Amino acid sequence: MKATRIIPILRIFDYQKAVEFYVGWLGFKIVWEHYFEENAPVYMEVEKGDIVFHLSEHHGDGTPGTRVMIWGEGISEYRSELIEKKYKYNRPGLEKTFYGAVSFTVNDPFGNTIIFNEEYVEEKHKDLEFSSIH
């Protein structure tokens, strides 16, 4: 089997808070939104580059407290962009992990955790300042 796309479904409880966090702060864009009927919960897709999430207000779609690990490049630069936005609910520190990554973690308003990782390369990352592990 070869996976061509993996899309986590994350439970949300408030459309405006989800848009503030995922679009306003993390820089995702809304691809589509679906409502089964008027005054129904939203089910939506957001993306940033190759990262795709489905966000759902529907009971039973996902569980609050889900953790998603994302591997990519430019993690420290992306973290710097987020810090510059001064989002009052998240100020993630940069860490060098035990599993050989440069990493930072964000927590969405609904209890979900997203961990952004990049393979640690000594020559490329030697001058980064890392937060202490907590």
Distance CA 70, CA 75 (A): 10
Say whether pLDDT at 17 is over 80.
yes
Helix or strand (DSSP H, E) at 118: strand 113-119
pLDDT in tens, 45-68: 999 999 999 999 999 898 889 999
Residue 13 corresponds to which tokens in the numbers above?
A: 């409880």
pLDDT in tens, 104-127: 999 999 999 999 999 999 999 999
* pLDDT at res. 134: 46
Instruction: Check if the beta carbon of residue 90 is closer than 8 Å to that of residue 25.
Output: yes
All domains of the chain, ordered by start, with CATH? 9-125 (3.10.180.10)
